[in-house]
Amino acid sequence: MTVPPPSGGPHAVRPTDNQWPHPPGLPAPVLSDQRWLDAVFLHWRIDESVAAQFMPAGVRPDVFDGSSWVGLIGFRMEQAGLGRGPGIPYLGSFNEVNVRLYSREPNGTRGVVFLSLDANRLPVVMATRAVGIPYVWSRIRRWPAFPVGAGGLLTSPSEAGTTASGGGAFPVGYSVRRFGGTRVGSDFTVVPRLGAAAADPLSVFLTARFGMHGRFFGRTAFIPNTHSPWPLFDAAVHTLADGLVESAGIRAEGPPESVLYSPGVQTRFGKPRLLGSQVPG
């Protein structure tokens, strides 16, 4: 049984239909069904030539406003399961923080390229690294955001009462420390602007991504997913001390230009395809 996506409440306005691209059909079979909750998106402009160094063969950097973009994204993975089955106990729910770039195929298919994905479940890290996905085992703390309501769904900001005594919203974010003797880590929190829905073209460009490009056993592949439009809020940086982006090989200058928060979406992953093969219809 598929759990419906969490509601962002009356203030969590989604991008309008003419701004948000229609998700492509998901090729069968469904490989995984999962929820991504309490998502924080931080993005910086970078030169297209920098992003090009990290692109798998057959794809190029996707560009908006003359720039490529690098993202630092934290979220809670919840109830990830195999196929359409129920979430896997313990292993299917964990915190994740990733560093990613944006890619585009010659046929126009857009995706993301992950430079690193930190997670706090070692078996998940080992299994995904075995197939070429660059997961890293880390200790990740999620700063409390909005509580879970009836049925396990995220309540809306207004219903959750997430304002401090001084009238401001609570910060939402993640703290990462990698295992293995390294000092690499990240601390970032944002304060969502709960009355400011983010539906601008840049926000849609950065979040309307329906798959990932990566190198798998010497070939470039695309792993598709589908989900409804993210309910997005503008947000303000509260704290930021990041070492993950630089550790991935990219120097991001100054404060992030795009700062977003979302209560989350339900997503499904479909059958991968190798680049050069026909896009499943």
80 domain-assigned? yes
Identify the pLDDT of residue 276. Answer: 74
Nearest to 54 by CA among 38, 71, 78: 71
11 domain-assigned? no
At 122-163, the pLDDT tens digits run 878 888 888 888 999 999 999 874 444 433 334 444 333 344
159 domain-assigned? yes
Cα gap 201→64, rounded to integer Å: 9
Identify the pLDDT of residue 278. Answer: 52
Question: Which CATH number belongs to the domain containing residue 145 in this structure?
Answer: 2.40.400.10
278 domain-assigned? no
Identify the pLDDT of residue 3. Answer: 28
Separate counts of helices (H) and strands (E) for the chain: 5, 13
Identify the pLDDT of residue 240. Answer: 97
Containing structural domain, residue 53:
32-273
- Residues 99 and 114 sit within 8 Å (Cβ to Cβ): yes
Say which residue the tokens 């400011």 belong to: 196
20 domain-assigned? no
Identify the pLDDT of residue 44. Answer: 98
Identify the pLDDT of residue 183. Answer: 83
Identify the pLDDT of residue 86. Answer: 59
Count of domains forming the chain:
1
Look up the pTM and report it. 0.84
Residues of the chain with pLDDT under 50: 1-13, 16-17, 145-167, 279-281
Residue 116 parent element (H or E): strand 110-119
23 domain-assigned? no
Identify the pLDDT of residue 125. Answer: 87
Identify the pLDDT of residue 87. Answer: 60
218 domain-assigned? yes
7 domain-assigned? no
- Residues 23 and 210 sit within 8 Å (Cβ to Cβ): yes
Identify the pLDDT of residue 281. Answer: 41
